[in-house]
């Protein structure tokens, strides 16, 4: 994780995003690129529809441009205040489609850090988040808006034997090696998932882990997502590592799979995902 990309859009999580990116880069002796994309249409999602309403187009686009300028200025202010705390920081700004820029820049980063969806009333469903998760082929950390740097005490791995979870674990090794405690959590009663093999693999990579079982239960994917969030709180984890599943699942919010969407939009600790 030598190159960490922090996608700061001027929203409530911008400070947490930069700090989390700096924390991850610092653990791996890497550097941080803080990126802001001016995208008025991403801010005001009603703008495309405005073209069908006579007289509304100009006012709505002007409002979006004004808000975009304010958020760009806010992002720079936060960056200038935090830059002394970040390892080898660099600020870059682009104009255009935010999701497309994130995809292009994210594919040449080792790690992408974004804010938790739902925390920004101006952009409650930011398109760049699923774009980063599903289109960049890179790990993504989703950060709650109130997160602040602290020693990594307990990392929780949600293990189900899937390729997505395997990728997330591989990407997260530099962070897991810094955690005081690592727990592998697998579905109870599923003989196809061997936690012991994963624990052995982690041990070979200088990560001491223990395994527990998780009663995943029945019901919808969102229900299972809620159950996973309860486990995160019960074990006192401060990092969750999991696969990202289903771009067109049950949960419409962000177009993410039900359990994935529920976890990243409600988890109180950072979530490292890979698809």
Question: By C-alpha distance, which of 44, 57, 52 is closest to 127?
Answer: 44
Q: What is the pTM of this model?
A: 0.88
**Among residues of the chain, what percentage have pLDDT more than 90?**
66
Which residue bears the tokens 């899937």? 162
Q: Which has more pLDDT, 53 or 272?
A: 272
Q: Has residue 217 got a pLDDT over 70?
A: no
Domains and CATH numbers, the chain: 3-143 (3.40.50.620), 154-274 (3.40.50.620)
What is the model's pLDDT at position 264?
A: 76
Q: Give 163-169 contacts, CB < 8 A, sequence gap 24+.
A: 163/243, 164/243, 164/244, 164/245, 164/274, 164/275, 165/242, 165/243, 166/243, 167/139, 167/243, 167/274, 167/275, 168/139, 168/241, 168/242, 168/243, 168/244, 168/272, 168/273, 168/274, 169/198, 169/202, 169/241
pLDDT in tens, 96-128: 999 999 999 999 999 999 999 888 888 888 999
Tens digit of pLDDT for each residue in 52-66?
555 556 666 677 788
Q: Which of 31-45, 167-181, 193-207, 252-266 has the lowest mean pLDDT?
A: 252-266
Whether 250 has a pLDDT exceeding 50, the answer reads no
CB pairs under 8 A, 24+ apart, for 216-223? 216/187, 216/188, 220/250, 220/258, 221/246, 221/249, 221/250, 221/251, 221/257, 221/258, 221/259, 221/262, 222/250, 222/251, 222/258, 222/259, 222/261, 222/262
| Paired residues of 32 in beta bridges | 4
CA–CA gap between residue 43 and residue 21 (Å, rounded): 23
pLDDT digits (tens, 9 = 90+) for 24-46: 999 989 999 999 999 988 875 54
């Amino acid at each position: 994780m030598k190159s960490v990309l922090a996608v700061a859009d001027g929203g409530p999580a911008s400070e947490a995003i930069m700090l989390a990116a700096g924390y991850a880069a610092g653990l791996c002796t890497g550097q941080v690129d803080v990126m802001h994309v001016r995208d008025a249409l991403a801010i005001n999602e009603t703008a495309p529809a405005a073209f069908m309403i006579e007289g509304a187009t100009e006012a709505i686009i002007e409002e979006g441009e004004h808000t975009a300028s304010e958020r760009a200025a806010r992002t720079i202010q936060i960056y200038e205040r935090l830059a002394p705390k970040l390892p080898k920081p660099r600020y870059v700004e682009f104009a255009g489609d935010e999701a497309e820029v994130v995809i292009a820049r994210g594919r040449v980063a080792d790690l992408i850090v974004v804010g938790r969806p739902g925390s920004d009333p101006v952009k409650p469903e930011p398109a760049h988040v699923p774009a980063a998760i599903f289109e960049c082929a890179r790990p993504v950390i989703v950060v709650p808006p109130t997160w602040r740097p602290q020693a990594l005490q307990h990392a929780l791995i949600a293990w189900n034997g899937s390729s997505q979870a395997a990728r997330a674990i591989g990407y997260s090794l530099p962070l897991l090696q810094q955690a005081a405690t690592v727990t592998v959590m697998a579905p109870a009663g599923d003989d196809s998932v061997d936690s012991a093999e994963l624990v052995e693999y982690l041990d070979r990579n200088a990560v001491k882990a223990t395994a527990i079982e998780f009663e995943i239960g029945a019901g919808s994917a969102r229900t299972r997502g809620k159950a996973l969030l309860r486990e995160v709180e019960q074990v006192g984890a401060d990092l969750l590592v999991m696969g990202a599943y289903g771009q067109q699942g049950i949960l419409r919010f962000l177009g993410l799979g039900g359990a994935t969407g529920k976890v990243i939009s409600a988890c109180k600790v950072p979530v490292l995902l890979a698809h």
